[in-house]
Amino acid sequence: MSFARPDLLWLALLLPALAAAAVLGYGRRRRRVARLLGAPELVRRLGASDLEKPVVGRLVLIGLAAAALGVAAAGPRWGWMAVEQHGRARNIVLALDVSKSMLARDLAPNRLERERLLARRLLRELRGDRLGLVAFAGRAYVLSPLTVDHGALELYVDALDPEIVSYGGSSLAAALRQATDLALGEDGTGGRDRAIVLVTDGEAHDEEAAVLAEAARAARAGIVVHTVGIGTQRGEPIPERDPRTGRDGGYKRDASGEVVISRLNEPLLTRVAEATGGRYVRLDQAGATDRLLGALRAVERTRVQGERYLEPRARHAWFVALAIVLLVVDAIAARSAAVERDLRTSDAGGQA
């Protein structure tokens, strides 16, 4: 099972907690009413003894219904369905930094996880557009060509890790070169329907002139490069991961033994974006992703031939239906209890 909106899974815990609080409050009010009616014997003769009963059944039913609605909000998916793409789409290449500096924790929980969250949001918001994926460190690798199969792209995004590349360091020139080649496609034509999103902390082992030369090449092909800065100018040490246990063990050090501090290189990323007519955003600033999406939606669409792909089947309706059934059962049980109480009250009145 996967989720279209995993960031909303917390509702599966919050909603039951709120529902439980409401039901327990309802139970306390019932017991308070019972005490106000008088002695327990009088309450029993009035047919209202159930006011003092625990509300466990109702607590379980409403709690489960609330949990089901919380899961439904996260968009549960399983199974696959074949979809054929028609119409027009944008062509966007995501170039994602997976160098070890992305393990720095100046953004919580770390830069790499924030990059994953950004990529997932772009895949979700740009549904129907053709996206390609390039991962880079010391070298750049094409993980996926331009495709509308966002389900497959999500799998690649989930697997992003410094261990998937064999060369350390960070080469922005290689990333831009590979992303530009991928955006140009087999026919080698550019145009205003193509864009690159370069997501990185901006630290590069290349000469700045080499990076700007690749940006100029993209600009000549009509490809806009939007850059996303991840990190802070204050910087953070780079954790060293034990290859056997996968756990962090100290920090990366340079040849002199000093701890290496990784810092965001905003000036270079700004110049790359400006050289291509793109936009630079800093991910930790409010509204950064929305500004990036606004820039990407300005990219022109091009006609797409019928491309078939597999898409996860949305299953949220099952959880909504389960919640409705549980609430109906609760309503029927409450109604039955009310009818039974009325009958007891009538019997008590007749005996009196």
Q: Read off the CATH number of the domain in which 115 is found.
A: 3.40.50.410
The answer to whether residues 295 and 161 belong to one domain is yes
Q: Are residues 164 and 135 in contact, defined by beta-carbon separation less than 8 angstroms?
A: yes
The predicted structure's pLDDT at residue 30: 67
Confirm whether 81 is domain-assigned. Answer: no
> How confident is the model at residue 225, as a pLDDT?
96
Looking at the structure, do residues 122 and 145 belong to the same domain, yes or no? yes
d(CA 68, CA 74): 10
* Beta strands at 194-200 and 224-229: parallel, antiparallel or unpaired: parallel
pLDDT above 70 covers a percentage of the chain that reads 79
Tokens representing 310 are 């597999």
Show the tokens assigned to 21: 């609080």
Q: Are residues 206 and 243 in the same domain?
A: yes
- Is residue 167 a contact partner of residue 160, using CB atoms and an 8 Å limit? no
Residue 307: band (very low, low, confident or very high) from pLDDT cuts 50, 70, 90: low
Tell which residue, 73, 65, 55, has the closest CA to residue 16: 65
pLDDT of residue 178: 95
What is the separation of C-alpha 265 from the centre of its chain, rounded to a whole number of angstroms? Answer: 26
In 3D space, the residue among 127, 10, 150 whose CA is nearest the CA of residue 74 turns out to be 10
Answer yes or no: do 304 and 319 share one domain. no
State how far the alpha carbon of 7 is from the alpha carbons of 12, 68, 98, 339, in Å: 11, 16, 22, 43
For residue 254 the two structure tokens come to 């340079």
Backbone angles phi, psi at 138, to 5 degrees: -70, -25
Range in 29-38, 56-65, 243-252 with the lowest mean pLDDT: 29-38
Residues 18 and 142 occupy one common structural domain: no
Higher pLDDT, 162 or 32: 162
The model's confidence at residue 164, banded by pLDDT at 50, 70 and 90, is: confident
Clarify whether residues 9 and 107 are in a common domain: no
Residue at 80 is within a domain? no
When pLDDT is averaged across residues 16-40 and rounded to a whole number, the result is 74
> Do residues 122 and 266 share a domain?
yes
Average the pLDDT over 60-72 and give the result.
Answer: 91
Distance of CA 74 to the CA centre of its chain: 10
> Is pLDDT above 80 for 347?
no
- State the Cα–Cα distance between residues 139 and 205, nearest whole angstrom: 11
Residues 108 and 6 placed together within one structural domain of the fold: no
Helix, strand or coil for residue 352? coil
Residue-wise pLDDT for 95-149, tens only, equals 999 999 999 999 999 999 999 999 999 998 998 889 999 999 989 999 999 988 8
Residues 49 and 157 in one domain: no
- Do 112 and 66 lie in one domain? The reply is no
The boundaries of the domain holding residue 124 are 87-309
DSSP 99: S
Q: Name the CA radius of gyration of the chain, rounded.
A: 29
Q: Which residues pair with 261 in a beta bridge?
A: 237
pLDDT of 288 above 70:
yes
Task: Judge if 238 and 301 occupy the same domain.
Answer: yes
Distances (CA, A) of 133 to 194, 199, 330: 14, 11, 49
Residues 98 and 180 in one domain: yes
213: pLDDT strictly greater than 80: yes
Between 335 and 350, the more confident residue is 335
Count how many domains the chain has. 2
Q: Is 247's pLDDT higher than 60?
A: yes
Is residue 82 assigned to a domain? no
The reply to whether the predicted model has a pTM over 0.85 is no
What's the mean per-residue pLDDT of the chain?
83
Q: Which has the higher per-residue pLDDT, 56 or 86?
A: 56
